[in-house]
Amino acid sequence: MNDAYFINKGYEISTDKSRINVDVVFNYLSNESYWAKGMPFEKLRVAIDNSMCFSIYNSGDQAGFARVVTDKATFAYLCDVFVLKQHRGMGLSKWLVQTILSHPELQGLRRWLLATADAHGLYKQFGFEVINNPERWMGIYKPYTTNAI
């Protein structure tokens, strides 16, 4: 499925990457988010190109966004989820997560992961839990630097 449209209360969710207002997404992630602050623009471009992207639009304007990094067979990582401040309080983030989890290309996955500092309540509604056996998980974290791409 190349593009999926879901319409609700004057808002729509689309997977069409050509519609993404990359400037809006970049400004939010790089300046307002706690998880991607300082992200270089070109890093975002590459991330979008290599992810499934879900955008919320209101009258054609970017109102929210999320990315899924996945092999579409066994694993998915949900990231960069946000709804712009002026569009919050209408259940859009819940609708976005529900739309992502029900997408036909993301069915039957064995594992979903995400990281959040403040939205545990949202994700718990959809079955996300604190990771079992966290001592088994490892990671590498490299903060963004101005000279890295």
Return the pLDDT at 6: 61
The C-alpha atoms of residue 33 and residue 112 are separated, in whole angstroms, by 22
Residues 83 and 93 sit within 8 Å (Cβ to Cβ): yes
Return the pLDDT at 145: 64
Return the pLDDT at 148: 44
Element (H, E) at 92: helix 92-101
Provide the 3-class DSSP secondary structure of residue 87: helix
Return the pLDDT at 4: 57
Residues 22 and 63 sit within 8 Å (Cβ to Cβ): no
Which numeric CATH code is attached to 5-136?
Answer: 3.40.630.30
Beta strand ranges found along 85-125 (DSSP E): 111-113
Residue with tokens 């999320």: 66
* Parts of the chain with a pLDDT under 50: 1-2, 147-149
The pTM of this model reads 0.90
Structure tokens at 88: 């919050």
